[in-house]
């Protein structure tokens, strides 16, 4: 069975003054503070959240 693709997502811009929906997407990805990184599965749901707030994130494949 093939291993599911993973993405490392890092918050590189502050949440201060952002739209509530953008803050919710960052929280949904599991990010808590600046320069915090999480590894998430490469699913359409996660990709949608990443695309919505891509200006605040750094993303790399793991």
The pLDDT tens digits of the residues spanning 6-57 come to 999 999 999 999 999 999 999 999 999 999 999 999 999 999 999 999 999 9
Query: Which pLDDT score is estimated for 42?
Result: 96
Phi, psi of 32 (to 5 degrees): -115, -30
Query: Which pLDDT score is estimated for 1?
Result: 61
Ordered by start, the domain boundaries in the chain are 6-61
Query: Which pLDDT score is estimated for 27?
Result: 97
In angstroms, rounded to a whole number, what is the distance separating the alpha carbons of residues 21 and 48? 12
**CATH 3.30.1390.20 is right for the domain spanning 6-61:** yes
Phi, psi of 56 (to 5 degrees): -110, 0
What is the bridge-based pairing of β-strands 57-61 and 37-41? unpaired
pTM of the full predicted structure? 0.89
In angstroms, rounded to a whole number, what is the distance separating the alpha carbons of residues 15 and 3? 33
Would the pLDDT of 2 be above 90? Answer: no
């Amino acid at each position: 069975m093939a291993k599911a693709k993973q993405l490392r997502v890092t918050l590189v811009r502050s949440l201060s003054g952002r739209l509530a929906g953008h803050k919710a997407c960052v929280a949904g990805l599991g990010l808590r503070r600046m320069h915090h990184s999480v590894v998430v599965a490469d699913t359409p749901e996660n990709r949608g959240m990443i695309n919505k707030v891509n200006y605040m994130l750094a993303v790399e494949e793991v």
